[in-house]
């Protein structure tokens, strides 16, 4: 399969992910859950970042994400730790999980195979197994969706997310051709330029996903920042080294009013240095729907830009080179 085949099947993946989540069962936690840590990197870890944004106004306990070998010192028996590694062999996640187990944390695992699957099965740890053998970033729908079901299994959220998922699937199916057309047009505008992605607070995970997809699929450098924080620093950087930059504002009608005004003012400032400024508005009636819309849109942009760059969107040779070198270090 090519990367565009995976992107085309995004809503089918969501449907199957829902089925997997609905048929999963968990034993109850032994202790009261007072905080949450989601461990994962890359395509396996970005779901935690997006989830924490989506649930920020709903959940009553803090969510943190670890994208490292280490874990925060607060982890204890009252911490729910979700280890997410598509391959099941991500060394940073395995290291973090070992530390969390030693702290007596409540553990749940999302994986398709590998050491994580073995750890879950051998130690009777709550887990959800998703389809394997594919590029982790292309299976985002599976790992992301299971996080919601894990939260529900632990009675941390209600079932409202199910309607949002259902609505997202319908929306993306109905807008599929429109999304592809607009994404292709944006990719043409980004060709031979360095993309700069801006987003309002509350949607940073979506911007990170877009950046990562441009890195991995399109094989290009880019960066992102968040409004209003970027107004206190990066906005001043729009003075020098501004050649060949193209700016994308990922926007939602639900963004805080003052942040929407800030974005419009930012565009005025930035327009002195580049004419390539694009507003991409989400669709949907919830944070989850808005997020999934922008994620699917960004995935398509990364695919079309990979074609323009004449690169293989799936190839990750340099990452494999890094992993091989690390494997030789004891």
Residue spans per domain, the chain: 3-158, 175-308
Task: Say whether 175-308 and 3-158 share the same fold.
Answer: yes
| pLDDT tens, position by position, 151-181 | 999 999 999 999 999 999 999 999 999 999 9
- The model's pTM is 0.97
With a pLDDT cut of 70, the percent of the chain lying above it is 100
Which residues are identified as catalytic? 216, 232, 323
In SS3 terms, the chain reads as CCHHHHHHCHHHHHHHHHHHHHCCCCCCCCCCCCEEEEECCHHHHHHHHHHHHHCCCCCCCCEEEECCCCCCCCCCCCEEEEEEECCCCCHHHHHHHHHHHHCCCEEEEEECCHHHHHHHHHCCCEEEECCCCCCHHHHHHHHHHHHHHHHHHCCCCCCHHHHHHHHHHHHHHHCHHHHHHHHHHHHHHHCCCEEEEEEECCCHHHHHHHHHHHHHCCCCCCEEEEECHHHHCHHHHCCCCCCCEEEEEEECCCCCHHHHHHHHHHHHHHCCCCCCEEEEECCCCCHHHHHHHHHHHHHHHHHHHHHHCCCCCCCCHHHHHHHHHHHCCC
The CATH architecture annotation of domain 175-308 reads: 3-Layer(aba) Sandwich (3.40)
CATH number of this structure's domain 3-158: 3.40.50.10490
Q: What is the pLDDT of residue 110?
A: 98
| pLDDT tens, position by position, 9-19 | 999 999 999 99
| pLDDT tens, position by position, 56-76 | 999 999 999 999 999 999 999
| pLDDT tens, position by position, 98-111 | 999 999 999 999 99
């Amino acid at each position: 399969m090519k990367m565009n085949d995976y992107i085309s099947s995004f809503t089918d993946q969501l449907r199957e992910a829902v089925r997997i989540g609905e048929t999963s069962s968990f034993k109850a936690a032994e202790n009261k859950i007072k905080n949450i840590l989601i461990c994962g990197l890359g395509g396996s870890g970005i779901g935690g970042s997006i989830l924490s944004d989506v649930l920020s106004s709903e959940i009553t306990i803090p969510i943190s994400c670890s994208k490292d070998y280490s874990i925060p010192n607060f982890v204890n028996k009252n911490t729910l730790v979700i280890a997410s590694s598509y391959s099941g062999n991500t060394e940073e996640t395995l290291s973090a999980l070992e530390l969390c187990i030693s702290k007596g944390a409540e553990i749940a695992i999302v994986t398709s195979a590998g050491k994580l699957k073995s750890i879950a099965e051998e130690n009777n740890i709550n887990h959800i197994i998703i389809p394997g053998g594919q590029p982790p970033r292309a299976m985002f729908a599976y790992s992301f969706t299971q996080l919601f079901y894990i939260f529900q299994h632990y009675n941390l959220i209600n079932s409202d997310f199910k309607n949002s998922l259902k609505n997202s699937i319908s929306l993306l199916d109905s807008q599929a051709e429109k999304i592809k057309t607009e994404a292709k047009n944006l990719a043409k505008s980004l060709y031979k330029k360095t993309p700069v992605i801006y987003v309002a607070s509350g949607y940073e995970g979506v911007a990170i996903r877009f950046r990562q997809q441009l890195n991995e699929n399109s094989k290009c450098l880019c960066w992102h920042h968040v409004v209003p924080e970027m107004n206190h620093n990066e906005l001043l950087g729009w003075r020098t080294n501004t050649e060949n930059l193209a700016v994308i504002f990922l926007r939602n009608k639900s963004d805080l009013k003052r942040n929407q005004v800030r974005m419009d003012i930012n565009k005025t400032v930035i327009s002195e240095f580049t004419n390539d400024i694009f507003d991409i508005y989400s669709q949907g009636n919830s944070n989850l729907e808005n997020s999934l819309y922008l994620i699917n849109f960004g995935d398509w942009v990364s695919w079309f830009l990979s074609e323009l760059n004449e690169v293989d969107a799936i190839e990750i040779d340099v990452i494999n080179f890094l992993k091989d070198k690390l494997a030789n270090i004891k």
